[in-house]
Structures are given as C-alpha cells and as structure tokens.
Amino acid sequence: MAPVRVVHRYAGAVAMLAFAWAASAAAPDPKLREEIRKMHDAHQEARNPYDAQRIAATEERNIARLKEIVSSRGWPTISMVGEEAASSAWLLVHQSQRDPQFQLKVVALMEPLVARKEVNPQVYAYLYDRTHKPQRYGTQGSCLAPGVWQPREMEDPQRVDERRAKLKLTPVVLKEYALQVGAQSCK
C-alpha cells in the first residue's frame, strides 16, 4: 500500500480523521482526486497566516466547485477518489459555515454511503453533529474556560455510545471525552 499523508487536523477536535485505507492508492479518478487535493491545500494555505477575507474567498470557490462535482458525479466517495481526497472534500464542507443548506445536503448524501464503506463514518458523524441540534454523536461542543470543554446538547446522551458503535467510532465517556478535548483544544 502506498503511504498516505495525514491531511486533516480539525481545529478544536481531538483526532486525526483520515484512515489509511487501500482505496486511497487505487482511486479510479486520479484527476478528480488531484483537484480535491489542490482545493484542500488552498483551504489550508488560506488559514496560515489567518486572513478572514482570503479564507472566505477560498471557501466560496471550493464550495462552488464541490457543488458542481456533486451535481454531476455525486459525493466524492472513497472508491471514486480515495480516502484522503474523500475526507478532504468533507473538510471543505465541514469548515464552510457559509452554506448550511449544502452541508445538510452533503450529510444526506453521505448517510447511505457510510454503510457501504464509501464514506469515513467519523467524518460523517462530525458533519451530522455540526448540522443538527441536538447533535447525535457527541462530536461538537465549546470551550468554557482553559482546559474545560462541554459538548453541545445531545439527543439521548445515555445512548451515545450505541450510536457511535454503529459507525464503528470509539466509545465516548462524556466526562472523560470532555476532559481530553478540553486539554487539547481549550487553551
């Protein structure tokens, strides 16, 4: 298997989100994979150094292009573009708060693809939680103070681990998870 570079560090999140699946090395559409990689790179470059206008312009271009891709090809799946590019496309949507309708459309497109292993279940959970209130998987919250993180309102919190298990996500003991996220994200 070819090496896969780690590409995602969601600011404020606790984990790297890309899996090194064999599909990454053998994606049938290398041209689309490369286009998404370049969009992701531009997305990251716009944030370093932080420039709100440059970020907004880059996100607008990226989302417009992703809408074209989704309209003509559907959501970029693992078998279409590889794990890295599929997760990169997700990151572009996840971090672009300017188009919540498109985020909801992407969540709906991703949901049936999770069971077919065409979408990383972890990235689906993050986008689902970002777009729904209450959240379902316990991935979203806010910093209350240095080292103190609290999850947003959650549907049926006692069953969060059951829902996470269905997506093959690690269990979440909310108190421990909050401490871990707070230590990493709430400076």
Span 18-41, pLDDT tens digits? 333 333 444 589 999 999 999 999
Q: Which pTM was predicted?
A: 0.79
| Residue corresponding to tokens 């188009």 | 99
Tell me what the mean pLDDT of segment 103-126 comes to: 96
> Which residues, listed in sequence order, are joined to residue 143 by a DSSP beta bridge?
149
> Per-residue confidence at 165, pLDDT binned at 50, 70, 90?
confident
Alpha carbon of 5 to those of 8, 37, 87, 88, 90: distances in Å?
9, 11, 12, 12, 16
**How many angstroms separate the CA atoms of 67 and 141, rounded?**
28
Best CA proximity match to 88, nearest among 6, 8, 14, 10: 8
